[in-house]
C-alpha cells in the first residue's frame, strides 16, 4: 500500500451539528480529515435535520460553548479556525470575544451561515449587525454565498458584474479576503470570486447538475481552513478546496429524498480501503 499521508494542520470548527451528517460540524470534520488535517469542534447548537430541511434547533448554553473553545485552544491549540452556524447575536459576541482573547494571530475562516439549504433560518436578523461589527474584523477569509452576500453588502447581486461590486463592498467591512460563491446564479458555468485588497481572481468551472449539494458551503469553508492550517497560501487553499468540493459533489452517494450529502471520502484511496477491510 502507498504510505498514509501525515496528519497536519489543526482546525477548530465552531458551528452547529447536523444530525443528517451532510452539513455543519459533521461535514466540517469529514472535510478536514479527508484533506489530512486534524479537526476539533466547539458545537454552537444541535439541529434535528435531514435532506428535506431543519426540523428543530437546540442552542448550546453560551458558557458551555466558551468552555469548549477555551479547552481546545489552551491544550491542543489551533492552526486555523472556522466558524459556521452561530445562531444569534449573543453567540456571535461570545465567539468573537473568545477569538479576540485566545486566538490572536490564528487565521479565521468565517462562513456566515444564515439559511439552511431547505430554507430554514440559521441566523437571527439582529445577529447580522454583530457579525459585521465584531466577527468580520477578526477574519482572514469570509465565504458567503450570494444570498448571504446580499444581506451583508446590502445590495442585490443578479449577475457576475454585481458580484464584483459586492465583493468590493464586503472588503470594506474589515475582512482582508472574500470568497464570494456564485452557485446561486443560473447558467452552465459557476463563477466564484476570490477578492482581496490586491485584486480579484475568478474561478470558473462547469456546473455539476446534481441535487446532492447539501453542505457545500460548510465543506468549502472547512477545506479552505484546512489548507490555511497546513501553511498553504490563500489562493492555493481556495483552489484545492474548490477542487475537493467539486469531486465530492460528483461522487455524491445519492442519499435522501431532498438535497443529499456529498461524498466527503472522495479523497480516500479505494485500494487502501479494500486492503484495510481484508
Of 246, 224, 226, give the one whose Cα is nearest residue 235.
224
Q: Which of 9, 21, 182, 217 is catalytic?
A: 217
Q: Which of 91, 213, 219, 260 is catalytic?
A: 213
Do 109 and 80 meet the contact criterion of CB atoms below 8 Å apart? yes
Q: Which of 216, 219, 227, 260 is catalytic?
A: 216
Model confidence pLDDT, tens digit, residues 202-252:
999 999 999 999 999 999 999 999 999 999 999 999 999 999 999 999 999
Share of the chain above pLDDT 90, in %: 88
Of 124, 119, 143, 158, give the one whose Cα is nearest residue 217.
143
pLDDT at res. 118: 65
Cell of 277: 477491510
Report the C-alpha gap between 114 and 207 in whole angstroms. Answer: 23
Q: Which of 181, 182, 219, 260 is catalytic?
A: 181
pLDDT at res. 141: 98
pLDDT at res. 35: 96
- The whole model's pTM is what? 0.95
Q: Does residue 149 have a pLDDT over 90?
A: yes
Superfamily holding 10-277 = Ribokinase (3.40.1190.20)
Q: What is the mean pLDDT of the segment spanning 154-180? A: 97
Tell me which of 3-7, 110-114, 194-198, 264-268 is least confident: 3-7
Cell of 87: 445562531
Please count the other Cβ atoms lying within 10 Å of the Cβ belonging to residue 75: 8
Any catalytic annotation for residue 218?
yes
Could you state, in order of their start, the residue ranges of all structural domains in the chain? Answer: 10-277
Q: Does residue 12 have a pLDDT over 80?
A: yes
Model confidence pLDDT, tens digit, residues 89-130:
999 999 999 999 999 999 999 999 887 666 667 788 888 999
Q: Which of 218, 219, 227, 260 is catalytic?
A: 218
pLDDT at res. 252: 96
Any catalytic annotation for residue 267?
no
Q: Which of 215, 219, 227, 260 is catalytic?
A: 215
Q: Does residue 185 have a pLDDT over 60?
A: yes
Any catalytic annotation for residue 199?
no
Any catalytic annotation for residue 216?
yes
Model confidence pLDDT, tens digit, residues 191-203:
999 999 999 999 9
pLDDT at res. 119: 65
Tell me which of 180-194, 234-248, 264-278 is least confident: 264-278
Q: Does residue 2 have a pLDDT over 70?
A: no
Q: Where are the beta strands (DSSP E) in the chain?
A: 10-18, 38-50, 53-59, 80-83, 108-110, 141-142, 177-181, 189-196, 199-206
Any catalytic annotation for residue 132?
no
Q: Does residue 271 have a pLDDT over 80?
A: no
Q: Does residue 273 have a pLDDT over 80?
A: no
Q: Does residue 1 have a pLDDT over 60?
A: no
pLDDT at res. 136: 97
Amino acid at each position: 500500500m502507498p504510505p498514509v499521508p501525515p496528519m497536519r494542520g489543526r482546525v477548530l470548527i465552531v458551528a452547529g451539528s447536523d444530525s443528517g451528517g451532510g452539513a455543519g460540524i459533521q461535514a466540517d470534520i469529514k472535510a478536514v480529515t479527508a484533506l489530512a488535517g486534524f479537526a476539533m469542534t466547539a458545537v454552537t447548537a444541535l439541529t434535528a435535520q435531514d435532506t428535506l430541511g431543519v426540523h428543530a434547533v437546540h442552542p448550546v448554553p453560551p458558557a458551555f460553548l466558551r468552555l469548549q473553545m477555551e479547552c481546545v485552544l489552551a491544550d491542543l491549540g489551533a492552526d486555523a479556525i472556522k466558524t459556521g452556524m452561530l445562531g444569534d447575536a449573543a453567540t456571535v459576541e461570545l465567539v468573537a470575544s473568545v477569538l479576540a482573547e485566545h486566538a490572536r494571530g490564528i487565521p479565521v475562516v468565517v462562513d456566515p451561515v444564515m439559511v439552511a439549504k431547505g430554507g430554514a433560518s440559521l441566523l437571527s436578523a439582529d445577529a447580522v449587525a454583530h457579525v459585521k461589527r465584531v466577527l468580520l474584523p477578526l477574519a482572514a477569509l469570509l465565504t458567503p454565498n450570494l444570498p448571504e452576500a446580499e444581506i451583508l453588502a446590502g445590495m442585490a447581486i443578479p449577475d457576475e458584474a454585481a458580484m464584483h461590486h459586492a465583493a468590493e463592498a464586503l472588503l470594506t467591512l474589515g475582512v482582508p479576503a472574500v470568497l464570494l460563491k456564485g452557485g446561486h446564479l443560473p447558467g452552465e458555468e459557476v463563477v466564484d470570486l476570490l477578492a482581496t485588497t490586491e485584486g480579484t481572481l475568478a474561478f470558473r468551472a462547469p456546473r455539476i447538475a446534481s441535487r446532492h449539494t447539501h453542505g457545500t458551503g460548510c465543506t468549502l469553508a472547512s477545506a479552505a481552513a484546512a489548507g490555511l492550517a497546513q501553511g498553504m497560501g490563500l489562493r492555493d487553499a481556495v483552489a484545492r478546496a474548490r477542487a475537493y468540493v467539486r469531486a465530492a459533489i460528483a461522487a455524491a452517494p445519492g442519499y435522501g429524498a431532498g438535497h443529499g450529502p456529498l461524498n466527503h471520502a472522495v479523497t480516500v484511496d479505494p485500494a487502501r480501503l479494500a486492503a484495510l477491510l481484508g
